[in-house]
Amino acid sequence: MSDLAGRERPVIRPLSGHVIDLIAAGEVIERPAAALKELVENALDAGARRIVVALRGGGVDRIDVTDDGCGMTPQDLELAVQRHCTSKLHDERLVQIRTLGFRGEALPSIGASARLAMTSRIAGDETAWCLRVEGGVITPPEPASGPVGTRIVVTDLFFATPARRKFLKSPRVETGHAEAVMRRLALSAPHCAMRVVLDDRVLFDVPEQSPLARASSVLDTPSDLLLPLDEQRGVLRLSGYACGPGRTRATGAGQFIQVNGRPVTDPMLRTAIRVAYRPVITQGRFPVHALNITVPLERLDVNVHPAKTELRFADESDVKALIIGGLGRALGHGSGGGGVQARLGGRSSIVYPSRAAETSSYVPSSWAESERSGERVGMGVRVRPPSEEKSAPGFAELDRHFEPAARVPLDDERGASVHSAAFPLGAAVAQIFDTYLLSVAPDGDLVLVDQHAAHERLTHERLREQQAKGALKAQALLLPEVVDLPQREADALLARVDDLEALGLVVEAFGPGSVLLRAVPALLGKADMVALLKDVADELAQDPDLDAATTESFARKLDAVLARMACHGSIRAGRRLKAEEMNALLREMERTPRANTCSHGRPTWLKLTRTEIERLFGRIT
C-alpha cells in the first residue's frame, strides 16, 4: 500500500504579496549592513553630492540615511515601496546596467520587515512628502518639512521577521559589517562627501575628494605609500591603488574591489589578487588595496545575486590575467616602491655598550684602537673609510649563484651620484652589528637594510628567473605511483598533461579514476608528491581555466623550495661587508623586482625620516 494513501493531496496556491516580500527580504537584507548598502546606493544613484549616515545598535535599532539627491514626488514614493518598481532600468535585456541598483526590491523588502519612514522633496516643490511602511502596511504620503533630497529612517529592523532577527550577531559585530560597507561605498564615490556616525561616534567625515585622497583616507595610508595602477588588457582596464608588501593586515579588511565603480566581494577576484601578492607577502597576511576593474557592460552579468556583490565575467581568464599581471608589475618595481616606514614612538633611550660588547669581535674597546685598524667603530656601528671603495672584490656569494649584472657601486654609467633620485636607497655609510647596512637616501632620510633578507630576495628572484626560462627538470620515479582520484579530478589532470610535463610532473591515464605518476620535479626532492598531485587536481577541477603552474598547491610548494635555496645561498647575518659590497647590494635591490620584502614576506629595509628622529630627541611632539 502506498505511503501516500490516506494523506491529503497538497494543493499549489499563490503566496500572498506580504509573504513574498518577507521571502525577498531574507535574500536582499540578510543583516543591517545589507539594508544600509541598498539605501546608500539609492542615494548615489539619485545624484547625491553629500550623504549623512547615522546608525544605532549596529543598525538594528535605527538606520538614518540623508542625501541631497534629486528627491521623489509623492507618486514616486508610493511606487518605490512596490516590488520591482524602479527608475533605473532602461535596458530590459539586463545588459546596459549603469546604476548600482536596478532590481526594485530593496525598499519593499525593508518595509516588509521593519518600520520605514521616507521623507523626500524635489527641487521646485514647496513642501516635502513623507511615506511610512510598517511591517508591509503602507501609509499614504503626507506633507512634511525637509530640504531637497531624501531622508530614509529604518527602525526596529526585522521586528516582523523574528526568526531572522534572532540570528543576528551582537551590535558590535553588526556595526563592524556596516563600517565595512560604508568604507567600500566611500571608495567607490570620491565625488560625494560622506559623514558616518555609529552610536554617536564619528567613523569618518570626508569631503568631496580626488580618488587618491579618498583611497588614502579610507585605507588609512599616506598617499606616497600607495602604488598607482593603470593597466590595460584589450577592452579591460585595471586602475586604482595598492600598498606594497610592507603594509599588510591580519584580515582582509583592507581589501576593496570595484567593477565598473560597483563595490563587490567576488571570490574569483580575491583569488587573483592573492596569487599576485603571493610572492611578496608571508602566508596568513592580507594586502591592502583599492582596485577598480573596468569591463564593457555587455561582457558582464551583475544579475547573479540580489545583493549584487558577485558577478559573472564573459572573459574570466582575461580578468584574472589582468589582475595578476598588473599587480605583479606594480609590486615588482624594485625598491622604488618604498620599504617600511619606521615608527619609533616614545622617548629615545640611550643604551651604553656592556663590557661584553666592548670586547666583542666587531666592537673594539676604544675609538683609538679602531682608528689604528682603519675603521671607526662605536656601539656596534662600523664606518668604512673612503679608501676601501675601490679595493673590495665585490659580492662573492652573489656571483656564485648567477652571472652578476653590471654593478656601479657609487656612480652609474652617466656619472650620476648615489645621492641622486636615480638611487632611492642612497649611499651606504656604515654596517651595524655586522648585519644591517645604514645608508643615507637622496632626501636625507636614513635607510636600514637587513643584508641577509635583501640578498635572499635577490637570489630568489634570480632562481625564479632561471626556472621561468625553461621547463623544470623532471626526475623519473624508480617505481611509478598509482594515484586514485575522483573521475572529475583525474580528467582535469589528464586534460593538462603537456602543461604538467613542462613543470616536471609526468602523468598518464591508468584506468577509470586513476593516473600513473611517472616523474616529479627534481627541485622538489622528497616532497609528498602524491598529496601535491591530489591538491593540484582538486584546484584544476574547481577552476577549468586555471593554469597548472599557477595552482596554489604547486606554486607554493615550488616557491618554498626556491626560497629555501635562496636562503641557504645568501650572505648571512654577521658577515662583514666592505663599502663596495654594501653599495653593490643597494644597487641590486633597486634593480630587482619585489626587493622590498624577503622570500618570507618580511621587510628588507626600513626608512627613518627626519621627523621620526626629531621626535626621538624631543625636538617635536
C-alpha cell at 438: 645604514
pLDDT at site 191:
95
Contacts of 287 (CB under 8 A, 6+ apart): 242, 243, 245, 248, 254, 255, 273, 277, 281
| Residue 67 pLDDT level (bands cut at 50, 70, 90) | very high
pLDDT at site 179:
94
In a domain, 7, yes or no: no
In a domain, 2, yes or no: no
Report how far apart, in Å, the C-alpha atoms of 173 and of each of 178, 203, 578 are: 9, 15, 55
The secondary structure element, H or E, covering residue 58 is none
Same domain for 147 and 242, yes or no, is no
Asked whether 409 and 391 are in contact (CB, 8 A), the reply is no
In a domain, 185, yes or no: yes
**Bridge partner residues of 299 (DSSP):** none
In a domain, 125, yes or no: yes
- Between CA 27 and CA 135 the distance in angstroms is 17
| Residue 397 pLDDT level (bands cut at 50, 70, 90) | very low
What residue ranges in 70-200 does DSSP mark as E strands? 115-121, 128-134, 137-144, 149-155, 193-198
In a domain, 523, yes or no: yes
Q: Is the pLDDT of residue 248 over 50?
A: yes
Smallest Cα–Cα separation from 458: which of 595, 560, 288? 595
Same domain for 162 and 265, yes or no, is no
What residue ranges in 364-505 does DSSP mark as E strands? 376-378, 381-383, 427-432, 436-440, 446-450, 474-484
- SS3 at position 377: strand
433 conformational bin, left if phi > 0, alpha if psi -120 to 50, beta if neither = left
- Between CA 437 and CA 586 the distance in angstroms is 9
Asked whether 178 and 58 are in contact (CB, 8 A), the reply is yes
Same domain for 199 and 143, yes or no, is yes
Same domain for 386 and 277, yes or no, is no
Least trusted range by pLDDT, from 71-80, 154-163, 171-180, 404-413? 404-413
Same domain for 193 and 215, yes or no, is no
Percent of the chain scoring above 90 in pLDDT:
36
Structural domain boundaries enclosing 138: 17-206
Number of structural domains found in the chain? 3
C-alpha cell at 25: 527580504
In a domain, 436, yes or no: yes
Same domain for 165 and 236, yes or no, is no
CATH number at residue 268: 3.30.230.10
- How far is C-alpha 124 from the chain's CA centre? 45
In a domain, 86, yes or no: yes
Same domain for 304 and 352, yes or no, is no
Q: Which residues of 67-77 are buried (b: 16+ CB within 10 A; e: fewer)?
A: bbbbbbebebb
Report how far apart, in Å, the C-alpha atoms of 347 and of each of 54, 228, 275, 554 are: 40, 35, 41, 48
How many other C-beta atoms lie within 10 A of the C-beta of residue 565? 17
Taking the model in full, what pTM does it have?
Answer: 0.67
| Pairing label, strands 289-294, 255-259 | parallel
- SS3 at position 607: strand
How many H helices and E strands in the chain?
Answer: 19, 25
- Between CA 163 and CA 231 the distance in angstroms is 47
Contacts of 95 (CB under 8 A, 6+ apart): 297, 298
Same domain for 474 and 575, yes or no, is yes
Mean local confidence (pLDDT), 165-171? 86
- Between CA 263 and CA 311 the distance in angstroms is 11
pLDDT at site 603:
83
Same domain for 199 and 284, yes or no, is no
Same domain for 401 and 519, yes or no, is yes
CATH number at residue 39: 3.30.565.10
In a domain, 8, yes or no: no
Same domain for 453 and 540, yes or no, is yes
Given 331, 347, 370, the domain boundary residue is: 331
Given 206, 221, 247, the domain boundary residue is: 206
pLDDT tens track for 472-500: 678 898 889 999 999 988 988 898 888 78
- Between CA 504 and CA 518 the distance in angstroms is 10
Least trusted range by pLDDT, from 94-108, 266-280, 571-585, 595-609? 94-108
Same domain for 287 and 374, yes or no, is no
Contacts of 381 (CB under 8 A, 6+ apart): 430, 431, 432, 438
Given 206, 222, 249, the domain boundary residue is: 206
